[in-house]
Structures are given as C-alpha cells and as structure tokens.
Structure 1
Amino acid sequence: MISHKRIQVYEHSFLRIGERDFDTKHFIALSKLNALHNYQYFDLKHNGVVFKQFVGVLQVDNLTIEILPKIDRYEPEENKKKWQSVLIEMLHLTKKLKIHEAGQTNVARQSITLLDIYFEWFLSEVQLLIHQGLIKQYYKQTGNVKALKGKLEFAIHIQKNLAHKERFYTTHQVYGKDHLIHQVLGQALDIITNLSKGSYLHAKCKTLKLDFPEVKSINATESTFTKLPRSRKNAPYETAISIARLIILNYAPNISKGTEKMLALLFDMNKLWEEYILIRIKQASKDNNIQVYGQNSKTFWRNVSIHPDIVLLCDKEQFIIDTKWKNIGNNKPSIHDLRQMYVYNEYWKSSKSLLLYPSSNDDFDGYIRFVSLDNTADQHKCGLGKVSIFKDCNTLLNDQIGSKILNWIMNEDKIRV
C-alpha cells in the first residue's frame, strides 16, 4: 500500500527542500505549477518555496501539503489544528466546501486532509445521483453499425468497410448514459481514484466505479464545461459538476514530464476573508433596515472600475467596509489603503469608511475612531477596526462577528441594530 504523507504549513511561510518529506521532485513540480499560473502562488528560492496569501491544499504524488491561514506573524505549530478548522469553516460558509458526517468526525480527530474532504464530497454527490437514477440523454456516436442510420461518413466508410459490405460507418444519435455530463464525472472519478491510493477513500472509489456506467474517456477543459447542457432534468447534477470542474481544471498529470501527478486547490485568503465577512454581515442585517452589497462597482476611469468589498445602505446613508487579511499590529494602515478609502467615500458619497482587519481580540475603541482623511470635518472619514474571528474559547469562529461589526458601526451614528 502506498504511504501518504502530509505537511502542514502557514501562509507566507518558507518550506525548505529536504524538510519534512519535501524533496527536489516536489519543488520542481511546484515551480512548474507556479509558472502555469503566472507565478502567483509562491515565491521560489534556490532551496525552497515561500508561500504567499493562497491557502488550501496541494498533492504531488503521495505528498499532501496543506497551506493554512494565520493572523500572527509567528503562529505556533500546535495551533495548526485550530487553523485547519478555521479554513474548513470559512470554505464551508462561503459554499466552497461541504462536510458530510463522516468527514466532520475525521476533521475533529485531525485524521483527514482538506483534499480528502473535497474527494468525499464529490463521491457522496455521485453516490446520491446513482441512487436517484442516472439520467439518459441523446448524444452523437460515430462508428461502424450493421444497419444504415444517421449520416453516412462516406470517405471513412469506404476506407474501413471496403471488404465488409454489411457494415456502415455513420454518425447517428443514441439515447443512453454515455453523454458529456457522465464523461466529465467519470474523468473526475478517475482522478480521485488515482490520487486516493493508500487512503481510506480508495475502496469507496473502486466500489462507486462498479456502479457507474462505462463512459468514453475524455480530457475536459474549460470550454468543455461551457458546453454542458443546463435544464431542469440536469439540476441534481450541478453540485457534482461544480466539484468535478474544480478537480479537473486544477489537476496537472504531466506537470513534471509525467513523473508526478498534481492537484492544487488554492484560494486567495484576502478574497475568502472578504466573502466570509460579507456573508456574516448579511446574516446579521436580516432583521433591520440595513441593505448589504458586495463588490458594488462604479466606473473610475475609462474602462477601469472600482468596487469596495462591502457597501452598507441605511436610511439613504452609505457606509464602506474594506476587508484586509493581514496583521496590523502598529495600527497604521498603508497610504495606498487610505487613498483607496478616500476614493470610495468620494464616489459613493459616503462620509465614513472602515478598514477591517482580523485579530485575536476586538479593538474598536480608544484612538481607533473615524478620523478625517482631509481637512473637512464631516466628510472622508476613515476608521480602523480589528475584530476577533474567534469565540471566547479561541478555537471556534465567532458566528456573531457580523452583529458585532454592525453594532459598532451603527452605534457611531447612535443607530441601534
């Protein structure tokens, strides 16, 4: 049995070649993956990899690398279980991940990787589709048949059937299960079967493949997914197709001259933090008169548009929130960020805006108030807030974080939510 190895690292950390089962072949595979994605995932050094703001999971052959988020610059090794839970919960809330009962149990024991959860999610969805009954569709099939039907492919027919007068090489319609949707799911199933060797999921893959129909092998690309038909009949397939798309388009079987197979599911932590806060604030605003908008866009210059992360509208007054996933221990935002908030205030006619940072404790008090960005008294004010993402136990995410942010903002204007 193949032995799977796992490395857990934090974002913005350095992983040296030769450290914790990370070999030269893994370094070469990561460097080629980075090149395919415009060098955005890592910074490459001669002796290792410096991770950036992307979190998630990588698998190169039997080595799994989990990249975890963090707040403090020097996060202790023993906190990795906590930060794995943070990442999983954020992905779950933003609908990038679903945890089934078995997966939740394994997460609690820290005996499962993020990649396993995605694989298990996909397998459960396919298993549900098989149980409900896989759909049939009309699709075109080209080949030799014993009765003339459809369109005769004359040139190939002459070439193949000169000595077989009883055969016809045609393109004709077939009603069955070997259609594009099942071919895509079959490709994803093959990838998971290949990458899960040696894990608890491999047996489940093999069993599922016995129940899955034999379909044509394809190499799906981005354009393949645009061709998939959408109808009410296909609606139950949407989740399975979306996971298959994520797996297939991020799978690189030949990234290192065919010697390593790699799958990379990486997420920009800045965007994930933004989406997480947006969802929490929307949840908190349901019972009041505050409207919440994400990525509200306006034209800035020619075809260039600007879009703050979150816009709040209350009694015709707008309020801007821009989320920043970084440690701001000195309480001094960058000049770039302040200029950005000034422009947002100007274009959205907002008198106040907030730069929001994650923290291990709340800091909305004292000198961290709304301060004018220019010489005016009531316009272009910007506040800086640090909000704790954890509950009191400091291990679970605070599901009331949206209410906390709204209460602080609205209390500034003596508005209760």
Structure 2
Amino acid sequence: MAEYSVIGDHTEFENAARVLAAGTGPVAVDVERASGYKYSQRAYLVQVFRRDAGVFLFDPPAIGDFTALEDAIGGLEWVFHAASQDLPSLRELGLEPASIFDTELASRLLGSDGFGLAAVVEHALGITLAKAHSAADWSTRPLPDPWLEYAALDVLHLIDVRDVLTQKLEDSEKSEIAHQEFMATLTRAPKPPREEPWRRLSGLHKVRGARQLAVARELWNAREAYAEQIDVAPGRLVPDRSLLAAVIAAPQSKQALAGLSEFHGRASRTQLDRWWDAIERGRASEQLPRERVPSDALPPPRSWSDRNPEADLRLKAARPVVEEVAEQLHMPTENLLTPDHLRRVAWNPPELTADGVGAALEMLGARPWQIAHTAQKIAEAFVDAPQSASDPDETAS
C-alpha cells in the first residue's frame, strides 16, 4: 500500500501548489466531506492529482486559505467524478475551475454499465478499486492510513479514465453533447433556500392541524440551530421520526416527553429543556403555519388521468418516443431529457411545433443538444396523441 500524508502546513501547501502548477495536463480533483456526521457540507479533505506532479491530499480546516492552489490550477480543466457533488464544497474554499470533465456524466452519455467510480475505472482501465470508506467521517483527525489510500485512489486514475472516455465520446460523436453537459454542470445556479425548510421533516404529512405544525416547526428549528452550533448532523441529535413522535404524542409535561420511548437520539435527554421549550413555543405561537402550501410541483403522473386527462394522454404518447430516442443514442432516458421537463410540457403544452416545444424546453433548462434530439419528436407525439380517453386510437403507456 502506498503511503500518503495530509498537507496542513502552509509552507508544505505552497510548495505543493508550485509542484502542481509545474505539472502537465488537466488535474483530477475530489472532495471528502463528513455527510451524516457534521452539520456543514464543508470539505474535510481535498485530493488533487496531476501528471508529472503526483497526488496531494490537502486538509482544508488546517489550511484555510486556498488561494495558492486556485492560482496554480484554476485555469486548467478539472476532472471529477460526479462534479455536482463536489463543486459547492470547493467553491466555499475559493476553488473554481475554468472548465471540467465529469467521468460519471461522460459514462452516462456513453451508455456504460454502471456509473459509480469503481465501475467506471474498472470498465475504462481494468483496475479494481475498493470503496470501503465512502461513508466515513472525514472530519476524523488523524485520518487512518487506509482512508488516505482510498482518498488518493479516487483521483489517481481519473486522468487516464478521462482520456479513454474522451476518445469514446469522439468515436460516438458525442463530444459536443458532453461539452454542453459539462458546462451546464459548471454554471448551474445553486437552488434557492426553501422558504420553510422545516417542512422537509420526514413524515410531516401525518401531522394534523396548524397548531401541531407549529410545534413541528419549532422542534425542527431548535434542532437545526443546535446542530449548526455544534456542527453535528441534525439526524444524529434526534432523528426525524423522534421529532414527529413528540409532535403526535403531544406530551403535557417535560417529564412526559422524557418518558416517551419513541423520542430518542443522542441529544434527546441531554437537551431535554431545549426540546420542551420548542414545544411550548409552538403551542403558544401566534404565527400559525399554513396547513396547505402552494406549490408549482406537478401532481404524480398516476393521478393525471383524473386531474388532467388530455395531459395524461400527451405524456403517454411522448414518453415512449423519448425513450426510443435515448435507446438509439445509447444513454439513459433521464440524461437525454429530464423527466420533469417532459411532464411539464405535457401538462401545459406550448404551440405544438418543434419550435414551440423547443422554446418551452429551453425555458425549463434543457440544453441545445437535448432540444435538437427531442423537440420535433415530442411535438409530433403530442399532435398524434388521442384527444380523449375514449378515443379508440389511444396510445398505450
């Protein structure tokens, strides 16, 4: 097993940045977080590999300022596996690539079998990677040697994989498709924060009435504030199902809450005052939440035949057409066109021409290559769709 060390010293960091700047070709980059352990999604390890430079493992909490690394490699192509997962954490450190290559996304566009890193590396290079530490707590210090070996292997082979996939993309005439997808990933704006994030509480649909919803809100907010304060994943303090149990049981005293067997978690008793105060705030609140929240989300397709029969028929006509195009292109249907985009143009159809459907898809965020392959087909499918469920020519789903 090769030995790797974590760089946290500023002098070593600046030396590593100079070595990377003198390397050749693109750089492979990966990030390890402590998801499920910590509240934040910050990076706890940044791995970088460049030919003629080697592998470097950087400790973000110890280094702090990553300007030297950004100056060294910021103008290069960065090679990721599933870039969308790593870019936000890197941007928090001031690390921003000029362009990217995503081996996971490229493998999808090529219709490969399996899109995980181990599968992609094995398929491209015939090398087997062990993925034993993917769910580890990367905030651990010092990091064990086997974890460091695992982290280094995440980037060590990515440049070679990139070269193989680049050739395959060229051979299959998908280079431009990949370029558009990579740029879309790099430039995609972050999702705006939810207006009422507490509504993410799992099982909230079981809560009845505005007053109980207020209690759920205050418990969720109390857990969130404490989790952020001590940087621990909220679910490790008190799981969602325990908060929900406390809401539904409606205990009448702090002691009753403590005696509730369904209310458990590492902080369920040590922070009992915090949770009881939250319950009392919810019960006394004059700002009661709405029981029904307006949403632009479409209803599930299984209900369309009752709620919007014409849209249901359009979707049933267009879906197999899009699936056929994806099959011809040898890629998953969801990579050819985001399923929600198809559902939205079926639910609220534009002018039933290629231009009309194309403009609607563009507004939803579809890339030019996606529109070019699907807009005409979707428009034709919508036109040919039966106009009612009783139409004898109804298209099969």
TM-score range, shorter chain: under 0.3
TM-score (norm 1): 0.23
The structure richer in strand per residue is 1
The structure richer in helix per residue is 2
